[in-house]
Amino acid sequence: MKKKGLMITIAAILIVVMAGFTFNQLRTTVGDETNPGKVKSTLNDEEQAAIAEQERIEAENERKEQLRLEAEEKARVEAEAAELEKKLADIKENSYYISNDRTKVWDKPTEDAVEVDALDEKTLVYVSEYLKDESGEIKKMEIKSDIDSEVVLGYIESSSVRKSLSDFIVRPIEDVDYAAVQKNGSFESNPKIDVKGVYVTGHSARGDRLQDLYTLIEETELNAMVIDVKDDNGYLLFYSESAEKFNPEANNHVYIKDMESFVKEMKDRGIYLIARIVTFKSPIYAKTHTERAIVYKDSGSLYSDADGLIWASPHDRVLWEYNVGIAKEAAEYGFNEIQFDYVRYPAIGNKSRMDYRNKEEESHMATVQKFLKYAYSELSPYEVYVAADVFGWAATALDDVGIGQQWEGISNVVDYMCPMMYPSHYGPNNFGLSVPDAFPYETIDRSMKDAFKRDSNLETPGLIRPWIQDFTAPWVKGYIRYGVPEVRAQIDALKANGINEYLVWNAGNRYSKNAFIEK
């Protein structure tokens, strides 16, 4: 009995050992979770091939499922995009602006209709139904506030609407584009801020005056400098590869040798940098390329302005490339914004005497706009903003002021409009003021209201950041001396109109410090 019991015990032990061996063999064959990269296969080739095939099939099915899900998501996104595009097209096709204030809205389209509302000029409405007469002409429109509204506002006459805001421009220029333009938002690397800046010449930038300007910014609400990168004489702030290519003589007069250190100091102080580029008044370039300068037709002699400075032709595309090339270099150095000044024609009474080199037969305004569009396109990859200086009167005059500066034609294609709203630059009785220079608050206030009205004619106007005056203008009959109260009055007028940005001009860069300390 003992021997039989021993045999049973030995058999049981062998069964347990063999079972354990078989389990471990199987586990190592399919992979050990404690050591998944280690496989000790004891399966034959056919069994291994079967397992591999099963794994391949599972992986292929998983890949197909993933592709199916991705295709479904792509189709969904494309369908939504197509639906949105269709909706936007519908909105564009059926949206109109009310043409006059107090336009009557009726409760029904019939003659016994009752007036239920009156809409103001430029109110945007969506036409949900067009009602035609017997001849097929649209006579009335059923309107809603927008495409998604379920409420019908009523019915209006078809003659009481306009298709585009630009239709409200009193004197549109035929070859100028007033359509909506896609503009840059706020760059993450260069966010928009409320700029309060002062003008700085190249001389001040490289001299002892700069320390005083640093102190001015540190102790006031000021936070920016508009620095001459290419000044009225054509002199440059830094050595320029663009100048070396198109206008080498400009590199003979450079204000700053070490631009990296110069910009670093500005950035360390938190100063927003604006590069002022005098654009078409380009004396060094014009002297070198007289065939590209504005000349008198009868004599062929170079035109020069009251300062004795000659002008290159705004039509010269090489000049465009030269100026934008300098702007790109400024952006690479770290300037936040490019400001094109003298982006206009000279003020000449008898234009018929002049040869502007206008081979394209463009209007003044079209040429200026095309240059700014070109500059905007070229500079956008550098993540800098584009600004244009214009005469303050451009906000009030209906035409291009004779110099290619029609408000809507420029505001439409830049990030910032910088009208020079210096009270001294307005004539007697402008805005109903006997001497605008003597009324700094009223002049700025009334000029801003005109600017807002002009921007209301555009889908995509530029932001307004005006130039204001910190200098006395003794050449103006009835002028007053400008100091802290007069400068602050201009700033207060801007604030009253919702504008919290400004640029201050003083040719000598000497500013009324206390005007920039808000009480």
> d(Cα 203, Cα 256) in Å, to the nearest integer?
9
- Indicate whether 188 belongs to any domain: no
Q: Are residues 149 and 237 in the same domain?
A: no
Rg (CA), the chain: 36
* pLDDT number for residue 11: 45
> d(Cα 481, Cα 474) in Å, to the nearest integer?
8
The DSSP bridge pattern shows strands 124-132 and 138-144 to be: antiparallel
Q: Are residues 279 and 154 in the same domain?
A: no
Q: For the chain, what is the domain count?
A: 2
Two structure tokens written together for 325:
């090339």
* pLDDT number for residue 306: 86
Q: Which stretches does DSSP call E strand in 2-160?
A: 95-98, 103-106, 115-119, 124-132, 138-144, 154-157
Over its length of 519 residues, how does the chain's per-residue pLDDT go in tens digits? Answer: 444 444 444 444 444 334 444 434 444 444 444 454 444 557 888 889 899 999 999 999 999 999 999 999 999 999 999 999 999 999 999 999 999 999 999 999 999 999 999 999 999 999 999 999 999 999 999 999 999 999 999 999 999 999 999 999 999 999 999 999 999 999 999 999 999 999 999 999 999 999 999 999 999 999 999 999 999 999 999 999 999 999 999 999 999 999 999 999 999 999 999 999 999 999 999 999 999 999 999 999 999 988 888 999 999 999 999 999 999 999 999 999 999 999 999 999 899 999 999 999 999 999 999 999 999 999 999 999 999 999 999 999 999 999 999 999 999 999 999 999 999 999 999 999 999 999 999 999 999 999 999 999 999 999 999 999 999 999 999 999 999 999 999 999 999 999 999 999 999 999 999 999 987
Q: Are residues 233 and 378 in the same domain?
A: yes
- Indicate whether 170 belongs to any domain: no
> d(Cα 272, Cα 270) in Å, to the nearest integer?
7
- Indicate whether 342 belongs to any domain: yes
Contact 499, 448 (CB under 8 A): yes
> Could you tell me which residues come within 8 angstroms of residue 434 by beta carbon, excluding any fewer than 6 positions away?
428, 478
* pLDDT number for residue 55: 93
Two structure tokens written together for 290:
């007289």
DSSP-derived secondary structure for 116-164: EEEE-TT-EEEEEEEEE-TTS-EEEEEEESSTT-----EEEEGGGEES-
**Burial of 462 per CB tally in 10 Å (0-12, 13-18, 19+):** buried
* pLDDT number for residue 307: 85
Q: Are residues 370 and 276 in the same domain?
A: yes
* pLDDT number for residue 41: 56
> d(Cα 327, Cα 242) in Å, to the nearest integer?
9
Q: Are residues 509 and 442 in the same domain?
A: yes
Contact 393, 401 (CB under 8 A): yes
Q: Are residues 205 and 146 in the same domain?
A: no
Q: Are residues 346 and 493 in the same domain?
A: yes
- Indicate whether 362 belongs to any domain: yes
Q: Are residues 401 and 263 in the same domain?
A: yes
Nearest to 171 by CA among 3, 348, 449, 406: 406
Q: Are residues 138 and 256 in the same domain?
A: no
Q: Can you give the residue range of the structural domain that contains 414?
A: 196-516
Question: What order do you get walking across the sheet with 115-119 strand by strand?
Answer: 115-119, 103-106, 154-157, 138-144, 124-132, 95-98, 161-162
> d(Cα 355, Cα 480) in Å, to the nearest integer?
40
Q: Are residues 200 and 158 in the same domain?
A: no
DSSP classification of residue 301: P
> d(Cα 519, Cα 505) in Å, to the nearest integer?
22
- Indicate whether 3 belongs to any domain: no
Nearest to 176 by CA among 455, 462, 408: 408
- Indicate whether 30 belongs to any domain: no
- Indicate whether 88 belongs to any domain: no
> d(Cα 275, Cα 226) in Å, to the nearest integer?
6
Q: Are residues 320 and 249 in the same domain?
A: yes
Which residue's structure tokens are 């300098």?
Answer: 326
Q: What is the pTM of this model?
A: 0.84
- Indicate whether 475 belongs to any domain: yes
- CATH value at residue 464: 3.20.20.80
Which residue's structure tokens are 């830049």?
Answer: 414
Instruction: Give the domain-ending residue among 163, 183, 204.
Output: 163
DSSP-derived secondary structure for 433-480: -S-GGG-HHHHHHHHHHHHHHHHTT-SSPPEE--EEE-S--TTSTT--
Instruction: Give the domain-ending residue among 144, 163, 182.
Output: 163
Q: How far apart are the first and last CA of the chain?
A: 114
* pLDDT number for residue 1: 43
DSSP classification of residue 274: E
> d(Cα 239, Cα 260) in Å, to the nearest integer?
12
Q: Are residues 208 and 145 in the same domain?
A: no
Question: What backbone phi and psi angles, to 5 degrees, belong to 258?
Answer: -110, 85
> d(Cα 411, Cα 182) in Å, to the nearest integer?
13
Instruction: Give the domain-ending residue among 146, 163, 180.
Output: 163
Two structure tokens written together for 453:
């009205």
